[in-house]
A and B are shown apart, each in its own frame.
Chain A
Amino acid sequence: MNDPLWSIFVNACLINNFVLAYFLGICPFLGVSGKLATATRMGGAVTFVMLVSSSCAFGIHQLLTAIDAPYLKLISFIAVIASTVQLVEMFIKKVSPALFRALGIFLPLITTNCAILGLALFQTNKGYNFLQCIVYALGAGIGFTLALVLMAGLRERLELATVPDVVRGTALTLMLAGLLSLAFMGFAGLGA
């Protein structure tokens, strides 16, 4: 694939937004989007893990192709993601204990965020080179953060609104997500 870098970025970030178009990472999207501050931090952590695991996954894919063992792809990807998250956790704990406390339980939960594994699988399917992988990961991470922050803003406003009892909770959040997803469809014309 010879997509230009800007097109890869816009594609991952807006047109095929990981949350709103591919439905990846819905669990943190529904779970962490209650407050704007946590949403921003979660987005930052996910973007970082995406960048690291994406470059690791690129290396692993090269290695597995070299030794001709494609059936190990899934297992090695998930192992790499789990250890990356562990590494990031230890690193943040050492460098900035304040940030570590702020992220709390969300940090280890990134392991089971399907957006990360999805990213690793998509980039190998598309056959991107290393630089393209990095840009793709960056776009996906920023897109995830964008969706999370938009959602958190909407939900903070809705806290004050009066809605029927039946709608409260997940149903309302899903309807909002549907509307956001409709809005993001407007970006469809942007890409090459």
Chain B
Amino acid sequence: MSGKLPISTTSGTDEFVKGLWRDNPVFVQVLGMCPVLAVSNTARNALAMGLATLFVLLMSNIVISSLRRFIPKQVRIATYILIIATFVTVVDYVIQAISLDLHKALGAFISLIVVNCLILGRAEAFASKNSVARSILDGLGMGVGFTFALLCLGAVREILGAGSLFGIELFHEGYQDWVVMILPSGGFFTLAAWLLVFNWAKQRKELTKEERAAAAAASARLEVLR
């Protein structure tokens, strides 16, 4: 999907910024959906998952980009997956060491970072063709964009579903939890709602651009008439 991006013609900051908004992996490219929906039931889980993915994405981008001249084309996908799996195993053990609760909450989804299409997608579309420095920026941007998207979902679901944010109670006792938001279907609904907001914003922007163009054309015609 991102293969059509112009390569090496953009500036360094742009490599970083594009992942945050314009090519946001979740809201625009719709990649890596499984963890986005599965672990975004609380803001804390979402943040942890986002950071873990950021780390794996960054490290695999660095390694793949520095090895890009040595990896034979025929076995490149298998090589990428092995590199990614190595870093995922590292993250799995690190999270287990930091917090056993968190490890239990995220469950098999830490291991499942291996098959996150976002990471393999960046390896194939970007890191295998660009220098290490650019790949670092790209990995950071995409990773932060992914974390941001996860937090958007996690925050909404936790606030509505449990009346709290990062475990801190937000409302007084009379608040009735929307249990459906914590349940699987809530994940689908929240993501759909965020996509709607994004589509709406994009449509509005295009509309105002058209309106401005129409207004400019009208005033130009007026000038000619005068």
Contact = CB atoms under 8 A, between A and B. Distances in A.
A38 to B, nearest CB: 19
Interface in B179-196: 180, 183-189, 191-192, 195-196
B192 A171 contact: yes
B199 A26 contact: no
B111 interface: yes
B185 A178 contact: yes
Interface stretch (B33-41, B140-148, B155-163): B33-41
A19 B33 CA distance: 11
Contacts of B30: 30, 170
B203 interface: yes
B89 interface: yes
A26 B37 contact: yes
B188 A112 contact: no
B200 to A, nearest CB: 5
B203 to A, nearest CB: 6
A11 B33 CA distance: 23
B117 A174 contact: no
Contacts of A78: 81-82, 85, 114-115
A146 B111 CA distance: 26
Interface of A: 20-27, 30, 71, 74-75, 78-79, 82, 111-114, 117-118, 121-122, 125, 165-167, 169-172, 174-175, 177-179, 181-182, 185
B117 A27 contact: yes
Interface in B97-115: 108, 111-112, 114-115
B88 interface: yes
A25 B191 CA distance: 16
B92 interface: yes
A30 B117 CA distance: 13
Given A24-B34, A30-B30, A166 B117 contact: no
A167 B192 CA distance: 9
B166 interface: no
Given A71-B89, A166-B199, A178-B189, 14 more contacts: A20-B185, A21-B184, A26-B37, A74-B85, A74-B89, A75-B85, A78-B114, A82-B81, A111-B81, A114-B112, A170-B192, A171-B192, A174-B188, A182-B185
